[in-house]
Structure 1
Amino acid sequence: MPLTPEVLTANREAVAWLVSLDVSFAPDEEPWFTIDGIENPQQMGSDGSGGAFVLLPPQNVLYVSSEGRAGIIADTFEAFVQLIVARPYWLDILKFSGGGDLAEMRRAAEALEATLDDEDEINEAREEILKSLDLDDADDPVGALYEAIAASDAIVRATDGSPFTTLFNRFSIDNNPMLRNAAA
């Protein structure tokens, strides 16, 4: 049976562990964006930076940042949870994607993994979430993230009608001394 938001939120233990990976399933009450072709988008959760997770038909997960960027980050809800577990710093992978270059994203993922502050807590959260939801590890979370965003055709707009931009950012880990050194 595929993982759904309802199945996940019924599992209090998994929800608590996901909060430690910066994902909350308490959506904002006030809509602050629109999605072309989708009436009344239902936000299913958020992150600590004010971004929103929205489930789109059939099961795509859209991320809308509070900084005017948006895109589909997973083809299914289950792939979304696997991404969060495998790469809780997925948003930083996109920040250092070199404009959407998969090789740069893979370099960023390796460097970010090497610089985890509290690796023990994150690894415990990863294990507990996978176990409590009976999920497998993601095969290629960075590749899946890249494919989902590259194929994303959702047009998200601010309340003033201006469109959001892609989640791919122009930086690479070479722009960040700490990450550059971690990759060396």
Structure 2
Amino acid sequence: MPLTPEVVTANRAVVGRLASLDVSFVPDEEPWFTVDGVETPRQIGSDGSGGALVLLPSLNVLYVSSEGRAGIIAGTFEAFVQLVVARPYWLDILKFSGGGDLQEMRRAAEALEATLDDEDEINEAREEIRKSLDLREADDPVGALYEAIAASDAIVRATDGSPFTTLFNRFSIDNNPMLRNAAA
């Protein structure tokens, strides 16, 4: 049986653990964006920075940031949960992607993993979510994230009609002394 938002939200412990990884399954009440070709986007949740998680009719998971960036981040809901569990800082990986360079994303993932504040708590959350959902570990979560965004064809627009830009940001970990040192 495929993993769905309904399966996840039925398990309060998993919802709580995912919340500790910055994913909330409480969608916004008011729509603040549109998706070309999708009459009513199904927002399934959000993150702490105000971004929206949307399950598209194709079952891809779309992320819409509150800062005008958007893109498909996973090919399925299960792949999205695998990404969050494996790399809860996935949004920071995109921030330090060097404009969408897979090697920069891998460097960022390594540096971010090395700088986790509550590593024991995060590892406990990872283990509990995988066990509770019978979720296999993602083979290459950074590669899958890169592929999903690189192939993203979703056009997201603000309420004024202006299109959102890609989730790939131009920074690299070399722009951040803490991450640069963690990678050394």
TM-score (norm 1): 0.99
Q: CA deviation at 1:58?
A: 2.1
Q: CA deviation at 1:40?
A: 1.1
Give the partner amino acid of 2:117.
D
Q: SS of the counterpart of 1:45?
A: strand
Give the 4+ runs in structure 1 shifted more than 2 A.
Answer: none
Give the partner amino acid of 2:66.
S
Q: SS of the counterpart of 2:39?
A: coil
Which runs of 5 or more residues in structure 2 are unaligned? Answer: none
Paired residues for 1:64-83 under 5 Å: 64-83=64-83
Q: CA deviation at 1:145?
A: 0.1
Counterpart residue number, 2:18: 18
Deviation per CA, 1:76-98: give whole Å up to 9, x if none.
Answer: 00000000000000000000000
CA distance in 1, matches of 2:142, 2:136: 16
Paired residues for 1:50-89 under 5 Å: 50-89=50-89
Paired residues for 1:33-112 under 5 Å: 33-112=33-112
Counterpart residue number, 1:165: 165
CA distance in 2, matches of 1:129, 1:58: 25
Give the partner amino acid of 2:78.
E
Give the partner amino acid of 1:65.
S
* Corresponding pairs, count: 184
Give the partner amino acid of 1:24.
S
Q: CA deviation at 1:12?
A: 1.2
